[in-house]
Amino acid sequence: MGCVKRDIERKVENPNKRLKSLLEISEKILTQERNSKNKIYSVHAPEVECISKRKSHKRYEFGCKVSLVTTSKSNWIVGVQALHGNPYDGHTLKDAINQMEKITGFRPETRPIGSRFTLVLIRPNFQPPNSR
């Protein structure tokens, strides 16, 4: 990658905006080290993060954690959030419920189940607006 970058910089006098962006990304990739913060894992999607899975067969995944809120019977998606920084799953529920309330106009009841999970009970027969 270093040779290609230097060759492009030598041969192209006025790179366009897209090429400048790619050259900046390649510079970051070339200068990052093993313990660097904010590493770039993908040239085409620099926002990709490394997510530690803590499993022996698949220790890492690359991408972005996502929160989806769906209805239980009809599987309507009533909330979506990108969760950057790999937050703990239990800490994301409150934000997901708040977003769902903002989108649908009602707040579901929550009931604790055991010590780790929360069941969200949504109003029965929920129909999204304009689908009746």
Q: pLDDT tens for residues 113-122?
A: 655 555 555 5
Q: What pTM, to 2 d.p., does this model score?
A: 0.57
Q: Where are the domains of the chain?
A: 2-63, 65-121
Q: What is the pLDDT of residue 27?
A: 92
Confidence check: pLDDT of 131 > 60: no
Bridge partners of residue 66, in order along the sequence: 82
The β-bridge partners of 128 are none
User: Which pairing describes strands 60-63 and 49-52: parallel, antiparallel, or unpaired?
Assistant: antiparallel
* Mean pLDDT along residues 90-110: 82
Burial of 100 (0-12, 13-18, 19+ CB in 10 A): buried
Taking only the tens place, the pLDDT of each residue in 7-62 is 899 999 899 999 999 999 999 999 999 888 888 888 888 888 888 777 778 888 88
**CA 26, 28, 29 angle in degrees (round to 5)?**
65
